Amino acid sequence: MKIKNLILGIIVLLISLTAVSAASDISVNMIKYEPSPVMAGNYFTVTFQAISEDYKNITNTEFELDTESGLSIETDDTVKVPLLMPGVPVTFSYRIKSESSARTGYKDLTLSYDNEEETFEVFVKAIETTLVVDKVEQEQFSSGNTGKLTLHLQNKASFSLKDVVISLSLTGIPFAPSESIAQKSVDTITSFGSEDIVFDLITMPEAEAGIYKIPIVITYYDEFGKMYNESNFITIIVSATPYLDISTEKNELIQNTKSTITIKLVNRGLTKLKFLNINLLDSNDFKAVSTKTIYIGDLNVDDYDTIKFDLIPAKSGNMKIPLIISYKDSNNKDYTQVINYDASVYSVKEAKQAGLISGSLFGYIIPIIVILAGIFIYRKYRKGKKKHAQ
């Protein structure tokens, strides 16, 4: 009786061990998924490999796949493998769709079989912008002065970014760091988070007003270990107050006589002048006999130009010459100057005394008489010479 019970117990134990080994002796691996990484909104195929590590065949094994939110199985979620032979691998696949709303990150695939369950991961990449410079703020920069440049970084991705490094390339540009190197770093920017990066810069004394493009390089890693290296440009505006020096050349203005006034315009500032235009206004002191509007256009830094107006002064003494001068600086800011320039006008008597005009009509007649007399004498001489030759 005892022997029968012992034999029966051994048989039950063997049956139990056989049932357990049928599950525990199956090894499953995910051998690939393609394309990789999976792009949100696209399909991909995942392939598994199963193998019996037992000493005997395993039959009719069902493998059921389940996915987390954002993934959907397009084929049957259950695959039946009729036979798993010891040491002989069997592969089977599922076609899966990644929803367009899926966020970047690892997604779980859970495979169940014979009361066993294993989890595998696939990497899904959403079509989303990561790190952007969405705003640039600056203090007023002018030659020789310091100011702060602030870059507002925005993480538009649904995952964190780390080890963010921002570098300014200032080679060939009239700026330099005032306190440190032109590089800043941030440890982490959380998903959809932001960070302000501030650079202290000094503008070189020789910097002219205008808009300067500065190359920047941003490197960082996402939370999955992927590295990003991005190059772009930002702009800094340098401003300067225009300084237009206006003076007259030597002018000889005579009452009731057509005269020319010459005006010299010198750009002594640190900004180029553009669309420079000069208008001569009407006045009771003179009558303009030439164009009253002169367009110069551009006048570079430390450069000059001269303009001339023809006019007839109505009276002697001091005379006001009203001018409207308009232009733009390098940053297209408008400027207008209204000037009443002082000029001196000679009377006719003063002009004669100064030798600007002859003293009397006799002064004009004498040269004419001398020339006519010369012509008459010369002709007489030639006639006399011809008679002598005959």
Q: Identify the three-state secondary structure at position 18.
A: helix
Phi, psi angle pair for 58, to nearest 5°: -120, 130
- Give me the domains of the chain, ranges plus CATH numbers: 23-125 (2.60.40.10), 131-238 (2.60.40.10), 244-353 (2.60.40.10)
Strands lying side by side in the sheet with 175-177: 131-138, 146-155, 194-203, 175-177
End-to-end CA distance of the chain: 187
Q: Taking the model in full, what pTM does it have?
A: 0.56
Q: Among 162, 190, 71, which Cα is nearest to 124's?
A: 71
**How many Cα atoms are found within 13 Å in the side-chain-facing hemisphere of 243?**
7
Note the pLDDT of residue 19.
Answer: 39
For the chain, 390 residues long, the average pLDDT of each consecutive 10-residue run is 50 42 74 90 94 88 92 94 92 93 87 92 83 92 90 90 94 87 92 93 89 94 87 91 85 88 91 94 91 94 92 90 92 91 87 72 56 70 60
Please list, residue by residue across 243-274, b when 16 or more beta carbons sit within 10 angstroms of its beta carbon and e when fewer do: ebeeeeeeeebbbeeebebebebbbebbbbbb
Q: Please say whether the beta carbons of 341 and 321 come within 8 A.
A: yes
For residue 339, give Cα distances in angstroms to 78, 232, 244: 92, 46, 12
Tokens (6 digits) for 313: 């002064």
Note the pLDDT of residue 161.
Answer: 93
Dihedral-angle region of residue 172 (phi above 0 means left; psi in -120 to 50 means alpha; beta otherwise): left
Note the pLDDT of residue 363.
Answer: 47
Q: Please say whether the beta carbons of 190 and 171 come within 8 A.
A: no
Note the pLDDT of residue 188.
Answer: 94
